[in-house]
Amino acid sequence: MKVISSVKISEDRLAKLLAVQPQAQIVQVKELTERDEEAEILLTYGWDVKEQTLNLYPNLKWLQSLSAGVDMLPLAKLAERDIILTNVRGAHKIQMAEHVIWSMLMLLRQGVVFVRQQEQKLFSAKPKVDEMYGKTVCIVGAGTIGREIARKCSAFDMTVYGISRSGRPDPAFARVGTFEEMSEILGLSDIVVVVLPLTSDTKNFVDAEFINAMKPGCLLINAARGPVTDEQELLQALQNGKIGAAALDVFVQEPLPEDSPFWGLENVFITPHIGGRTIQAADRMWEAFTSNLSKYPNQDKINNIIDLSTGY
């Protein structure tokens, strides 16, 4: 079997891949521009794969994305060609959950304010510090990452609700509601965390109706994708106090432009799309691919197969 990788593979990781599939021919390329009729597997982060890219590999059977999100990929074309798509679902749950907890603490314990005071050499305890204890949190996107966030929130004695398309009960949550029940749960929640995948159904999901359903002064954490939020509605809600404060790791345009009004808001904690990035993250991502490669071509045993009709 031939694997084309647009991701640089270190020698030790290459050795691990060949150990589980000794017959594999793994070719590393800088760009996916050369036609290859023998390639069965494509390894990529996803950003470099367009519809025309797939035409270069007429015998492609499996595309492995080292990203959790697959919204950038030509899903319809993959479905038309009956190409299996897998991601690294689960490889980001630990660091994403820690990022969300950190974001909550930064907002509740006035982290941004105290950093500014340190820069000014100002030793003042005037900023009001709040607690996670006893708060109610709503996690919009009760999947693998949402479940890990819920588990960690419970350790802080928070009441944790989840929102998912199915509303299927999950022991990590006190309650999981459907999208139709979301308004009620938003109105009960002190903190709202958004970790939805970006699909055609979730673009601008956090819109005026969503924001109006939130408890006045509620905190918002977006660790999903920028386009999941209607940024104009979000900006207005932060300016008028409908949303008390927000931790934003993702934006519609990245890097966030210097003239973006979000930079000037004192009630916003901005991070540069780092929720899934830690020193350990790459190892988990490679473990996911190595495991799948060891099972190929047995599709029944391959993990994290994406439903191409839904995008997750």
Query: Is residue 284 flagged as an active site residue?
Result: no
**CB-side neighbour CA atoms (13 Å) of 266:** 9
User: How, if at all, do strands 218-222 and 243-248 pair?
Assistant: parallel
**CB-side neighbour CA atoms (13 Å) of 70:** 25
Q: Which of 251, 213, 249, 247 is nearest to 231 (CA)?
A: 251
Query: How far is it, in rounded angstroms, from Cα 286 to Cα 122?
Result: 45
Q: Which of 37, 34, 32, 42 is nearest to 3 (CA)?
A: 42
Distances (CA, A) of 242 to 84, 112, 187, 219, 307: 44, 20, 12, 9, 36
| Chain CA centroid to CA 56, Å | 29
| DSSP secondary structure letters along 134-151 | T-EEEEE--SHHHHHHHH
Q: Of these residues, 147, 225, 231, 233, which one is catalytic? A: 225
Query: How far is it, in rounded angstroms, from Cα 229 to Cα 193?
Result: 12
Q: Tell me the two tokens of residue 116.
A: 């500014």
CB-based contact 246:235 (threshold 8 Å): no
Query: Is residue 225 flagged as an active site residue?
Result: yes
* E-only strand ranges, the chain: 2-5, 25-28, 39-44, 62-65, 84-86, 136-140, 159-163, 175-177, 191-194, 218-222, 243-248, 268-270
Query: Is residue 116 flagged as an active site residue?
Result: no
Query: How far is it, in rounded angstroms, from Cα 48 to Cα 286?
Result: 19
Q: At what angle do helices 281-295 and 11-20 cross, to 10 degrees?
A: 30
Q: Of these residues, 13, 151, 273, 284, which one is catalytic? A: 273
Catalytic residue numbers read 225, 254, 273
